Structure 1
């Protein structure tokens, strides 16, 4: 009798171990497939998660034995997963669906309506087909979606705990040490971003994320002075229209040597469906500096610098 019970227990343990092994293989293929689709390296994903590449490699190989909901939600965010994909991630990793009461820890925009969720998934696919860098932000400038061209533009950026371009566009431009390598004549970009911060705070003064950016600006004396003095004078002198996304051509340097130095307009092009979700789509329109479209003030600055 004891032998029979032991045999049945051993069989159950074997089946459970086999099921866990199968889920581990599926998880490995699922994560790698999603990463390949986004054209990200393991280092890229590790930067988004603020962990080492070795640690993420262990996650992808399935050697992590104790998955927490927080880690899974962060992983889903780093790999830009839809709600459906997040559910698959949980099933492969821990054998169950996400717990609804913990879904608030998942920082991506989640749609309760399946039709809206499907729309966002389709919109992300459409954005990836575009050649210009384009991205979707919420009211605090957190990046909710970005296409491959946007990720390519910032592929050389080093890891930073709070100011990655895949996390918040304003924080990257204001605080990341690599921002001047992309945004040429960085002070002009910073003035424009400080104006955007001020404008966003006028509309959403209670937003804690925007307040945190302003607080960090105040902790940097040069930025604080620019925010309190230089930016208001710039807005008054240049015209209020420049506070909006459409406006002056600034310069950026693409890491692809075949593209190199380009003029850039930051244009807003948001469909009503995104606006209804509190989201805004921005596109970095690249302009050839030699085609005559560069404003005279920018050309004069270039000639003076030369």
Structure 2
């Protein structure tokens, strides 16, 4: 209590504010501020609000975190990357803070990076916790916190199976990462979770592969908020710029046309943003309810054996499907004409070595693996996403996608469109249509409401509307096209071949595309390969009363990947007004 009082009072006084001035400026009551400075209870939500109000640096915030929760901030899954964090902050301002429903953006270790006021409100009843609070790490809260089964009805079947499978996939891809090792060790210590991890997750991955995760997007699930049970639609959006870092945004939208939060709940004063913190020192203590749990530092010194602790290894997957087709190891090698010895194949099944990625299509075909399982095998072998399968969703997934679109396109205040793997605009919202109302439908399909790539590359209006067209818009779009083509599996779709032929026929486009092809995707700066995600760009919009005159607008370009459409290259594009004077874009 004494440390809390000293910490809060010292930083308030450093800002030159009295308790009354501080309370008035930030929307708190004076009585509440006095209680906090006298050692009164501080929730996790309040802690983040105070961090911003008092302008606490990382060291001071670590102190406040320790005061509130009794421990240091938990390790983050990724090292802090200033460029990544800068883009992420802009991205979150468009896609997290504007969501009316509870929304959180997590990194590859499920640490909360940004969340909105609705997310804070729904979990404000959860007591401060050093490791497993939903404002710190939603995955650990779901797995380990004693309140999780109360807030998530049908906890085991509706929530745990998908969560445990996600942990199994991430752990298989990064078995030496301290945060994932820590989660895996804690799962091992709880019989129910270990059984789900070893048996259920293995079964799900063997039968469906990565599809078990994709199907978690646009999923109907129950939650309890304000002591009332509600059915929510769980949707997931992956930030384009962080798609290779494991980031994902999760939104819980009510399905019964009623508010997810009760009227008696106290609304958060303002949107709370969680800025990434650097990794804390090793040795973060375990949850207070499990004193026997191993520390993170112990896991680092004694990493678990991959084959023993993984839910499903490459060898186990190969062996399972080989037995399904009733072939011996020797028969499989001979029937597929794999250019390897039987001994080499045996080493694959015993997890002594990995098959080359180029052999995966042959192996999957011979063993009759479903597409999701084949892609999971590719993940395990290459530690990267499988090549894109096509450009269209199946009919059943397309129906779920329409529900996703209502949340992330129609519900978005900024001009927003969702595109398929060939950049065809599947759906766009009203602000997007108004933004490009001056461009009529094009018989060749090049209008911005028809095909975004066609518009940027070939439509005459793009060169007038998109400010600094060549450098700001064209170069990034062509680079993204090149990267998308390299991720295609097998022969390119006809739409993509048509793009290439049209580009080659235009000297300006051909020269710009040649420059993008010469870039190495591994060494190209982050901002050049993200579809402009987080870029600040200009547009020149014709004035309704005088179409020959154009008004300059500054927009923040953001993009994302719907989880359910990831394998088909689907993408979300938003053009948000960047300055206060640009609110006309939303009118």
Same fold (TM over 0.5): yes
Where structure 2 has 5 or more consecutive residues not aligned to the other structure, the ranges are: 1-10, 68-74, 259-398, 401-587
Corresponding residue to 2:254 among 268, 272, 286:
286
Corresponding residue to 1:176 among 136, 145, 155:
145
The Cα of 1:278 is off from its aligned counterpart by 5.1
Distance 1:231 1:21, change over 3 A: closer
1:264 aligns with 2:233: yes
Taking the aligned partners of 1:225 and 1:109, their CA distance within structure 2 comes to: 32
1:167 aligns with 2:163: no
1:213 aligns with 2:183: yes
3-state SS in 1 of match to 2:243: helix
Taking the aligned partners of 2:76 and 2:173, their CA distance within structure 1 comes to: 25
3-state SS in 2 of match to 1:190: helix
The Cα of 1:196 is off from its aligned counterpart by 0.9
Corresponding residue to 1:255 among 219, 223, 226:
226
> TM-score, normalising length from structure 1?
0.59
Q: Is the 8 A contact 1:134 1:284 kept in 2?
A: yes
1:46 aligns with 2:42: yes
Aligned residue runs from structure 1 range 212-251, under 5 A: 212-235=182-205, 240-244=210-214, 245-246=216-217, 248-251=219-222
Taking the aligned partners of 1:125 and 1:164, their CA distance within structure 2 comes to: 23
3-state SS in 2 of match to 1:270: strand
Taking the aligned partners of 1:212 and 1:152, their CA distance within structure 2 comes to: 28
Aligned to 2:14: 23
Taking the aligned partners of 2:239 and 2:53, their CA distance within structure 1 comes to: 40
Where structure 1 has 5 or more consecutive residues not aligned to the other structure, the ranges are: 1-19, 79-104, 295-306
Taking the aligned partners of 1:215 and 1:276, their CA distance within structure 2 comes to: 25
Taking the aligned partners of 2:131 and 2:150, their CA distance within structure 1 comes to: 18
Aligned residue runs from structure 1 range 1-306, under 5 A: 23-26=14-17, 46-48=42-44, 70-73=59-62, 75=64, 110-113=80-83, 118-126=86-94, 127-188=96-157, 189-235=159-205, 240-244=210-214, 245-246=216-217, 248-255=219-226, 257=228, 260-265=229-234, 267-275=235-243, 279-288=247-256
Taking the aligned partners of 1:279 and 1:27, their CA distance within structure 2 comes to: 40
RMSD in angstroms over aligned alpha carbons?
Answer: 4.7
The Cα of 1:24 is off from its aligned counterpart by 4.7
Taking the aligned partners of 1:201 and 1:107, their CA distance within structure 2 comes to: 12
Q: Is the 8 A contact 1:262 1:287 kept in 2?
A: yes
Taking the aligned partners of 2:40 and 2:213, their CA distance within structure 1 comes to: 32
Q: Is the 8 A contact 2:77 2:107 kept in 1?
A: no
The Cα of 1:132 is off from its aligned counterpart by 1.9
The Cα of 1:183 is off from its aligned counterpart by 0.8
Deviation digits for residues 110-140 of structure 1, max 9, x if unmatched? 5534xx6554433343322211222111111
Q: Is the 8 A contact 1:241 1:247 kept in 2?
A: no
3-state SS in 2 of match to 1:145: strand
Q: Is the 8 A contact 1:139 1:204 kept in 2?
A: no
Taking the aligned partners of 1:160 and 1:142, their CA distance within structure 2 comes to: 14
Deviation digits for residues 142-189 of structure 1, max 9, x if unmatched? 111111121122122223332100111111001111111211111121
Greater Rg, structure 1 or structure 2? Answer: 2
The Cα of 1:197 is off from its aligned counterpart by 0.4
Aligned to 1:84: none
Count how many residue pairs are aligned between Structure 1 and Structure 2: 231
More helix by share: 1
Taking the aligned partners of 1:124 and 1:44, their CA distance within structure 2 comes to: 32
The Cα of 1:232 is off from its aligned counterpart by 2.6
Q: Is the 8 A contact 1:158 1:178 kept in 2?
A: no
Taking the aligned partners of 1:108 and 1:204, their CA distance within structure 2 comes to: 12
Distance 1:74 1:202, change over 3 A: farther
The Cα of 1:48 is off from its aligned counterpart by 3.4
Distance 1:143 1:124, change over 3 A: same
3-state SS in 1 of match to 2:16: helix
Taking the aligned partners of 1:162 and 1:123, their CA distance within structure 2 comes to: 26
Taking the aligned partners of 1:170 and 1:139, their CA distance within structure 2 comes to: 11
